[in-house]
């Protein structure tokens, strides 16, 4: 059975995981707080900058709180801070003009629910916002249906102070002007920005330096996280914000298991399946450059990818049979007309391979693709789930990369990260 390959229906890792960000430039040149006396009562009117705090959930990145740079005002009294102290409004719009009849999932213009207001250890006010899987108006990406792309939306947050806040000496403070700053996501920010000599952008997580060589994990995104060059859109961002695929390998748990690993996330200029044989040497170039610049153990280079990236993981092991120590293709595509990867190529794969998919995947047929590949790749392993459920929330069946990002697949008591870390390149 062949699977129709289209930008809209097949190749999206992270489709629907998105709904709103791309923080606009901060108006004005204010840094932190500026104050001016009011007309009476000893009250001070102030201008305060704030940042958007985000986390990448399994279903995509969301803004979870705002941090107001209020420590410079003096010692605030936390007793007067309540969820009603501030109101928060969020508006998200597409960074790319939409073609007539096209849709984006989703722009929004709504009030965020404030769940708490508190002081952090620096004395800055933190406004906590309702968030969670499926939460409307919290996510930082939008999916443009006609382009098959997740994009960072232009996001504008508006704060209103409803009740006075007070310093510990009793003096009231009213914030009359809020200035939006950057989006802050520590996990994403830990990945540095790079571009290869061939122009392929990528993000890189670097472990602590060591005298011994470190392993390298290559994460390949799904179709929804590639660039849209006709729109001059190539952000090197969505690969880390649409899901936890790359981030999972940079967690403390994964770093402990791998003994400290570099994690690289290249971003396609379109989508990998468009021309896998052309992209393969471009990814190989990034790996070669990283080996040259960093102390990497060339016997412990691993590749993993979701959907489009699952296909590309297989394509790389076909093209470079002695490059990788292990391969983890997740809900990848091999079928097509003609096949993207032929049966003869699958049977020649010698790289240790662990495939992952879910039976309820209605985007990429697991029987015709993942199970078919497993039947042909010598000594390959397969984790085939019934559904994609994590922490009680059910995701689309295509999103089986969530399990790999959480180190869930296991075989005879060995979980997938441990299995990967124990594999060494066969020469």
Give the per-residue pLDDT at 41. Answer: 45
Supply 302's token pair: 């691993």
Cα–Cα distance, 181 to 231 (Å, whole number) = 26
Please tell me the pTM assigned to this model: 0.89
Q: How far is CA 126 from CA 49, 71, 78, 99, in A?
A: 12, 11, 11, 39
Is a pLDDT exceeding 90 seen at residue 27?
A: no
Cis peptide before 42 (omega within 30 of 0): no
Q: What is the domain partition of the chain in residue ranges? A: 33-184, 188-422
Between 224 and 1, where is the model more confident?
224
The CATH superfamily label for domain 188-422 reads Alpha/Beta hydrolase fold, catalytic domain (3.40.50.1820)
Helix axes 308-319, 276-293, angle to 10 degrees: 70
Give the per-residue pLDDT at 385. Answer: 98
Give the per-residue pLDDT at 207. Answer: 97
Residue keyed to tokens 């993993």: 304
Is a pLDDT exceeding 60 seen at residue 355?
A: yes
Whole-number average pLDDT of the chain = 90
Mean per-residue pLDDT for 21-47? 44
Give the per-residue pLDDT at 199. Answer: 97
Residue among 369, 347, 344 at smallest CA distance from 358: 369
Give the per-residue pLDDT at 210. Answer: 81
Between 45 and 260, where is the model more confident?
260
Is a pLDDT exceeding 50 seen at residue 16?
A: no
Give the per-residue pLDDT at 45. Answer: 57
Beta-carbon contacts of residue 40 (< 8 Å; ≥ 6 apart) = none
What percent of the chain shows pLDDT beyond 70? 89
> Quick one: pLDDT band at residue 209, thresholds 50, 70, 90?
confident
What pairs with residue 47 in β-bridges? 34, 177
Mean per-residue pLDDT for 87-105? 94
Supply 393's token pair: 């929330």
What percent of the chain shows pLDDT beyond 90? 86
Between 398 and 14, where is the model more confident?
398
Give the per-residue pLDDT at 44. Answer: 55
Give the per-residue pLDDT at 46. Answer: 83
Beta-carbon contacts of residue 344 (< 8 Å; ≥ 6 apart) = none
> Quick one: pLDDT band at residue 198, thresholds 50, 70, 90?
very high
Q: How far is CA 76 from CA 31, 44, 72, 223, in A?
A: 19, 13, 10, 48
Give the per-residue pLDDT at 31. Answer: 41
333 CB neighbour count, 10 Å cutoff = 29
Mean per-residue pLDDT for 65-76? 95
Cα–Cα distance, 32 to 11 (Å, whole number) = 43
Supply 70's token pair: 């209020």
Query: Is 10 in contact with 223 (CB distance < 8 Å)?
Result: yes
List % helix, strand, coil for the chain (3-state, nearest 5).
Answer: 20, 35, 45
Mean per-residue pLDDT for 213-238? 95
Strand positions, DSSP E, 253-295:
262-267
Is a pLDDT exceeding 50 seen at residue 17?
A: no
Cα–Cα distance, 102 to 81 (Å, whole number) = 43
Q: What are phi and psi of 14, to 5 degrees?
A: 110, 5
Q: 273-304, pLDDT tens digit by residue?
A: 999 999 999 999 999 999 999 999 999 999 99
How many residues belong to the chain? 427
| Class of domain 33-184 as given by CATH | mainly beta
> Quick one: pLDDT band at residue 204, thresholds 50, 70, 90?
very high
Give the HSE-up count for residue 90: Cα atoms under 13 Å, Cβ half-sphere: 29
Q: 302-312, pLDDT tens digit by residue?
A: 999 999 999 99
3-class SS string, 163-228:
CCEEECCCCEEEEEEEEEEEEECHHHHCEEEEECCCCCEEEEECCCCCCCCEEEEEEECCHHHCCE
Mean per-residue pLDDT for 137-166? 95
Supply 80's token pair: 């007067």
Cα–Cα distance, 247 to 305 (Å, whole number) = 13
DSSP output for 104-147:
EET-EEEEEPEEEEEE-TTS-EEEEE---TT-TTTBSEEEETTT
């Amino acid at each position: 059975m062949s699977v129709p390959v289209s930008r809209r229906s097949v190749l999206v890792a992270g489709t629907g995981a998105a709904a709103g960000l791309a923080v606009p430039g901060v108006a004005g040149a204010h840094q932190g707080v500026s104050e001016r006396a009011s007309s009476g009562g000893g009250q001070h009117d102030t201008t305060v900058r704030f940042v958007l705090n985000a986390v990448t959930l399994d279903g995509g990145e969301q803004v979870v709180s705002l941090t107001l740079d209020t420590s410079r005002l003096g010692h605030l009294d936390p007793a007067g801070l309540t969820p009603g102290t501030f109101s928060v409004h969020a508006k998200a719009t597409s960074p790319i003009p939409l073609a007539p009849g096209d849709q984006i999932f989703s722009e929004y213009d709504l009030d965020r629910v404030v769940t708490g207001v508190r002081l952090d250890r620096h004395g800055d006010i933190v406004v906590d916002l309702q968030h969670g899987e499926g939460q409307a108006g919290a996510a930082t990406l939008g999916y443009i249906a006609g382009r098959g792309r997740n994009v960072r939306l232009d996001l504008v947050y508006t704060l209103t102070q409803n009740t006075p806040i007070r310093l510990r000496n009793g003096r009231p403070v009213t914030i009359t002007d809020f200035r939006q700053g950057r989006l802050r996501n520590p996990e994403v920010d830990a990945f540095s920005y790079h571009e290869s000599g061939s122009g392929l952008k990528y993000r890189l997580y670097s472990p602590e330096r060591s005298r011994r060589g470190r392993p390298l994990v290559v994460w390949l995104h799904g179709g929804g996280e590639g660039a849209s060059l006709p729109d001059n859109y190539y952000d090197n961002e969505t690969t880390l914000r649409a899901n936890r695929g790359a981030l999972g390998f940079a967690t403390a748990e994964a770093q402990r298991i791998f003994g400290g690993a570099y994690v690289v996330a290249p971003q396609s200029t379109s989508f990998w399946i468009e021309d896998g044989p052309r992209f393969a040497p471009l990814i190989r170039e990034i790996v070669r450059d990283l080996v040259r610049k960093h102390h990497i153990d060339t016997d412990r280079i691993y590749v993993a990818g979701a959907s489009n990236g699952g296909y590309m993981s297989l394509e790389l092991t076909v093209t470079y049979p002695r490059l990788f120590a292990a391969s983890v293709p997740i809900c990848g595509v091999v079928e097509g007309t003609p096949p993207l990867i032929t049966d003869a190529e699958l049977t020649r794969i010698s790289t240790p391979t662990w495939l992952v998919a879910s039976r309820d995947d209605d985007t990429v047929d697991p029987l015709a693709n993942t199970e078919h590949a497993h039947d042909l790749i010598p000594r390959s392993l397969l984790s085939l789930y019934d559904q994609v459920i994590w922490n009680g929330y059910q995701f689309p069946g295509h999103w089986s990369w969530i399990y790999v990002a959480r180190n869930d697949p296991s075989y005879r008591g060995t979980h997938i990260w441990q299995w990967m870390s124990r594999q060494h390149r066969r020469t």
